[in-house]
Structure 1
Amino acid sequence: MTTLFISDLHLSADTPDINACFERFMREEAIHADALYVLGDLFDFWIGDDDNSEFAKRVRAEFKRLTDSGVPCFFTKGNRDFLVGKRFAKQTGMVLLGDETVIDLYGRKAVILHGDTLCTDDHQYLAFRAKVNQPWLQWLFNRLPMAAKRPIVRKVQSDARDTKKDKSFDIMDVTQSEVEKVLLQHHADLMIHGHTHRPNVHTFAVDGQEMTRIVLGDWYEQGSILCCNANNFSLETRPFCTGNP
Structure 2
Amino acid sequence: MTILFVSDLHLDSSRPHITRLFVEFVRDEASQAGALFILGDLFEAWIGDDASDETADQVATALARLHASGVPTFFIHGNRDFLLGDAYARRARMTLLPDGSVVDIEGERVLLMHGDTLCTDDAPYQAFRAQSHTPAWQRAFLARPLAERRAFAAQARAESQRYTRSVDDAITDVNADAVAATLRAHGVRRLIHGHTHRPAQHRLELDGQPAERIVLGDWYEHGSVLRCRSGETSLSRLG
Deviation at 1:153, TM superposition (A): 1.2
Structure 1 gap ranges (5+): 240-245
Aligned 1:1-245 pairs, distance under 5 A? 1-239=1-239
- Distance in 1 (alpha carbons) for counterparts of 2:68 and 2:138: 30
Question: Secondary structure of the residue that 1:50 maps to in structure 2?
Answer: helix
User: Is the Cα contact below 8 Å between 2:100 and 2:113 reproduced in 1?
Assistant: yes
Task: Give TM-score scaled by structure 1 length.
Answer: 0.95
1:183 partner letter: L
SS in 1 for 2:50: coil
User: Number of aligned pairs?
Assistant: 239
CA change 1:52–1:78 in 2 (3 A) is: closer
* Cα deviations by residue, 1:106-148 (Å, 9 ceiling, x for unpaired): 0111100000000010001100111111111111222223222
8 Å contact kept, 2:19–2:55: no
1:243 matched residue in structure 2: none
Q: Which amino acid aligns with 2:193?
A: H
Matched to 1:99, the amino acid is D
1:52 and 1:8, CA in 2 relative to 1: closer, same or farther beyond 3 A?
closer
Provide the C-alpha distance between the structure 2 equivalents of 1:53 and 1:145, rounded to a whole number of angstroms.
16
Pairwise CA distance, 1:199: 0.7
- Aligned counterparts of 1:67 and 1:51: Cα–Cα separation in 2: 23
1:68-114 deviations in whole A, cap 9, x for unaligned?
A: 22111100001110111111111111111111000111011110000
C-alpha displacement of 1:64: 1.0
User: RMSD of aligned C-alpha atoms?
Assistant: 1.0
Distance, in Å, in 1 between the alignment partners of 2:57 and 2:205 is 45
SS of alignment partner, residue 236 of structure 1: strand
Distance (whole Å) between structure 2 residues aligned to residue 204 and residue 148 of structure 1: 45
What SS does the aligned partner of 2:49 have? coil
Query: Which blocks of at least 5 consecutive residues in structure 2 are unaligned?
Result: none
8 Å contact 2:41–2:80 — kept in the other structure? Answer: yes
Which range is displaced more, 116-125 or 47-56? 47-56
* Greater alpha carbon shift after TM alignment, 129-138 vs 144-153: 144-153
**Where has structure 1 moved over 3 Å in runs of 4 or more?**
none
Amino acid at match of 1:131: Q
- The DSSP-based 3-state class of the residue aligned with 1:164 is helix
Q: Distance in 1 between matches of 2:225 and 2:120?
A: 26
Q: Which amino acid aligns with 2:69?
A: S
Q: Tell me which moved more, 213-222 or 146-155.
A: 146-155
Structure 1 Cα separation of the partners of residues 69 and 146 of structure 2: 32
Please tell me the residue identity of whatever aligns with 1:123.
Answer: A
Structure 2 distance, partners of 1:145, 1:90, is: 23
Residue type of the partner of 2:113?
Answer: L
Q: Quick one: distance in 2 between partners of 1:140 and 1:170?
A: 33
1:175-207 C-alpha deviation (Å, 9 max, x unpaired)? 111111111111111000001111111111111
8 Å contact kept, 2:114–2:193? yes
TM-score for both structures, normalised by structure 2: 0.97
Give distance in 2, aligned partners of 1:238 and 1:203. 23
Matched letter for residue 211 of structure 1: A
